[in-house]
């Protein structure tokens, strides 16, 4: 038995796929649990959220942009 | 809540959806002793009566002129079965305020009797019929020919200027603009009510509660600050009864000129506590004084409407707040927003959640965009607050629409809010690589009893527990393996 410290992310499957792609560049996922859950390294959360935000913004059409 | 109330309009308010005034819970939390002392002042009784709901007012009026207590069964006989719940809750409010006393005589086993608190009854009768020389409605100052007091317009201008200085300071605190600063007392009050806060010794910054505050109606804003003032008064060892009765006194005073006669009130008859309050209330724009040392004062519209349903800010078009009451926003289904206003404060508030494009003399044009709403959401404003602000300030032209706010825009604003929450995170430990299924289930059961399991998968034989459960689970496993090894 072992216990691994980390952060459990709950997300939809689209976001999960983006996270998996991001993981290929720089690994931060500890365990891929199921379609909606991932465990990642505790100190990476802030960076992951920020990068995900930028990634999601790319897919948004903006009037001003 | 307040803005939905405003959206429905004053007349549409049925007793069932009457929202209790924010001051009532505060009064209910006070001791019977405090309240009875407060009820010695006729002006306080009248003001509290005006804050009550329609049914509560009716009950008080029914009981007011009765000399003796009446059996509660007699009273209850007037109530229809559907009204029973409403009646009971109204009676509860009144007895919590110690206005109605519910006399129960266990010895005779008679039904309980209802009566008004004697102090309240005496003072309220006095308030209605006049008489008495308590001076609780304020003492008019002697006419002063040397310094004619200011008229209603000047008082209104003063109140608006003071009040908008406070709000404008809040709304622009993040933008780095340099603006007239409210006094230190006001700043302290804003900080104490957590509408603004300093981070790392920097200048005051508006908080998410502050952003929400800006979207409330002026009446609610005023009471929110005054409630905070009341809480602070307790800490400052001020006599709460004095503070409250002064506010109530102000709320029953006359504004400006009455029958061609300038109304000013004398500060001489005030208690020391109340004299100290003059300065604070001057800063909030509730009171006007010719100069700080003046022995007379005039209440402004902000204070004379404290307990009434009239708008607390003047409705003359010249000051720019004229549109406040009728609403000034037109919102189209294409997210375009037209605001008929020349008021910098209203423009600044709109700028919290809309992207403004053009600005004319009396019109501001903008649009509700994804970016502008996201900025508002990041500031802690919720989608519902934006929608209810738009509804509360909708232009009369908009009122023809049903629903008032275009459904597309409403839904989109809510969707933008949901979009921000695509990722939820929870810190903790992943327990994995159990030796056997029995082992796994044993530990999982224990964790479930603690209520710390966030996610589990029997197929993978692992589960995720929250951070606070870890110490217990580790202890549990160590005890087990340790015990197993020893035996």
pLDDT at B426 over 70: yes
Beta-carbon count within 10 A of B269 CB: 11
> To the nearest 10°, the Cα dihedral for A38, A41, A45, A48?
-70
Q: What is the dihedral of CA B19, B23, B24, B27, to 10 degrees?
A: 170
Q: Where are the domains of chain B?
A: 2-129, 152-304, 322-419, 428-486
The answer to whether A54 faces chain B, any CB pair under 8 Å, is no
Cis bond before residue B403 (omega within 30° of 0): yes
- Segments of chain A scoring below 50 in pLDDT: 65
Percentage with pLDDT > 70 across chain B:
82
pLDDT of residue B13: 37
> In sequence order, which ranges of B172-217 are alpha helices (DSSP H)?
184-192, 208-214
What pLDDT does residue B14 have? 40
| pLDDT tens track for B125-184 | 888 887 666 666 777 766 655 555 567 778 888 888 888 888 888 887 766 666 677 788
Rounded distance between C-alpha atoms, residue B100 and residue B175, angstroms: 51
Q: Does residue B3 register a pLDDT over 70?
A: no
Q: Where are the domains of chain A?
A: 7-58
Q: Which of B357, B378, B420, B423 to mutate to test the interface with A (most CBs of A within 10 A)?
A: B423
Higher pLDDT, B153 or B62: B62
pTM: predicted TM-score of the whole model, two decimal places: 0.70
Q: Is the pLDDT of residue B430 over 60?
A: yes
Report the pLDDT value the prediction gives residue B149, as an integer from 0 to 100. Answer: 58
Q: Note whether A19 and A48 are within 8 A (CB).
A: yes
CATH class, A7-58 region? alpha beta
Q: Please name which of B343, B350, B338, B284 lies closest in space to residue B318, comparing C-alpha atoms.
A: B343
Buried b (16+ CB within 10 A) or exposed e, B52-86: bbebbeebbeebeeeeeeeebeebeeeeeeeeeeb
Q: Could you give the CA distance from residue B46 to residue B69 in angstroms, rounded to a whole number?
A: 21
Cβ atoms of B99 and B60 closer than 8 Å: yes
Task: Check residue B12 and give its pLDDT.
Answer: 37
CA B169 – CA B182 distance, rounded (Å): 7
Q: Taking residues B349-367, what's their average pLDDT?
A: 91
Least confident span in B60-74, B85-99, B306-320: B306-320
Q: Which of A18, A29, A33, A43 would you mutate first to test chain B, the one with the most B CBs within 10 A?
A: A33
pLDDT at residue number B338: 94
Q: Tell me what the pLDDT averaged over chain B comes to.
A: 80
Between chains, do B430 and A31 touch, taking CB under 8 Å as contact? Answer: yes
DSSP for B238-281, written as a single string:
--HHHHHHHHHHHHTSPPSEETTEE--EESTTS-HHHHHHHHHH
Using the Cβ of B460 and the Cβ atoms of chain A, whether some distance falls under 8 Å is answered with yes
pLDDT score of B43 more than 60: yes
For the segment(s) B428-486, the CATH number from 3.30.565.10, 3.40.50.10420, 1.20.1260.10, 3.30.70.2610 is 3.30.70.2610
| Mean pLDDT for the stretch of residues B8-35 | 69
Nearest-angstrom CA–CA distance, B206 and A15: 33
State pLDDT tens for residues B266-295: 777 778 888 888 888 888 888 888 777 777
Report whether B322 contacts B315 (CB < 8 A): yes
């Amino acid at each position: 038995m072992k216990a691994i410290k980390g952060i459990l992310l709950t997300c939809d499957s689209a976001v999960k796929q983006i996270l998996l792609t991001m993981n290929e560049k720089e690994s931060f996922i500890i365990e891929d649990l199921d379609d909606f859950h991932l465990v990642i390294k505790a100190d990476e959360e802030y960076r992951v959220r920020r990068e995900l935000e930028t990634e999601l913004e790319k897919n948004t059409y903006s009037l001003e942009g | 809540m307040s803005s939905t109330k405003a959206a429905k309009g004053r007349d549409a308010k049925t007793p069932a959806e009457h929202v209790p005034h924010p001051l009532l819970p505060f009064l209910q939390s006070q001791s019977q002793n405090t309240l009875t002392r407060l009820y010695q002042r006729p002006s306080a009784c009248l003001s509290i009566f005006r804050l009550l709901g329609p049914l509560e007012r009716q009950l008080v009026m029914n009981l007011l002129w009765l000399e003796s207590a009446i059996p509660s069964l007699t009273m209850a006989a007037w109530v229809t079965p559907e009204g029973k719940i409403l009646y009971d809750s109204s009676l509860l409010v009144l007895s919590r305020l110690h206005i109605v006393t519910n006399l129960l005589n266990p010895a005779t086993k008679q039904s309980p009797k209802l009566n008004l608190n004697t102090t309240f009854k005496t003072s309220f009768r006095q308030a209605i019929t006049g008489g008495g020389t308590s001076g609780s409605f304020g003492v008019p100052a002697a006419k002063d020919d040397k310094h004619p007091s200011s008229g209603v317009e000047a008082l209104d201008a003063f109140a608006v200027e003071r009040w908008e200085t406070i709000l404008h300071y809040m709304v622009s605190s993040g933008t780095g603009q340099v603006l007239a600063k409210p006094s230190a007392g006001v700043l302290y009050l804003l900080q104490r009510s957590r509408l603004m806060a300093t981070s790392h010794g920097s200048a005051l910054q508006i908080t998410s509660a502050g952003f929400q505050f800006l979207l409330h109606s002026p009446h609610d804003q005023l009471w929110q600050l005054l409630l905070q003032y009341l809480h602070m008064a307790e800490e400052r060892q001020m006599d709460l009864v004095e503070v409250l009765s002064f506010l109530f006194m102000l709320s029953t005073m006359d504004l400006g000129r009455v029958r061609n006669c300038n109304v000013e009130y004398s500060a001489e008859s005030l208690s020391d506590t109340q004299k100290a309050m003059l300065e604070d209330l001057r800063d909030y724009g509730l009171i006007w004084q010719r100069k700080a040392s003046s022995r007379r004062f005039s209440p402004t519209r902000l204070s004379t409407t404290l307990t009434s349903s009239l708008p607390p800010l003047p409705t003359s078009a010249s000051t720019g707040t004229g549109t406040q009451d009728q609403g000034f926003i037109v919102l189209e289904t294409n997210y375009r927003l037209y605001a008929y206003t020349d008021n910098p404060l209203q423009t600044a508030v709109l700028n919290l959640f809309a992207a403004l494009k053009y600005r004319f003399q009396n019109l501001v044009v903008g649009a509700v965009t994804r970016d502008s709403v996201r900025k508002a959401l990041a500031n802690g404003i919720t989608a519902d607050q934006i929608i209810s602000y738009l509804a509360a300030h909708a232009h009369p032209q908009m009122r023809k629409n049903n629903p008032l706010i275009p459904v597309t825009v409403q839904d989109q604003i809510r969707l933008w809010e949901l979009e921000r929450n695509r990722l939820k995170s929870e810190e903790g430990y992943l327990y994995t690589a159990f030796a056997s299924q029995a082992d796994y289930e044993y530990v999982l059961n224990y964790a479930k009893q603690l209520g710390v399991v966030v996610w589990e998968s029997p197929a993978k034989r692992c589960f995720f527990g929250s951070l606070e459960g870890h110490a217990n689970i580790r202890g549990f496993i160590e005890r087990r393996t340790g015990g197993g090894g020893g035996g």
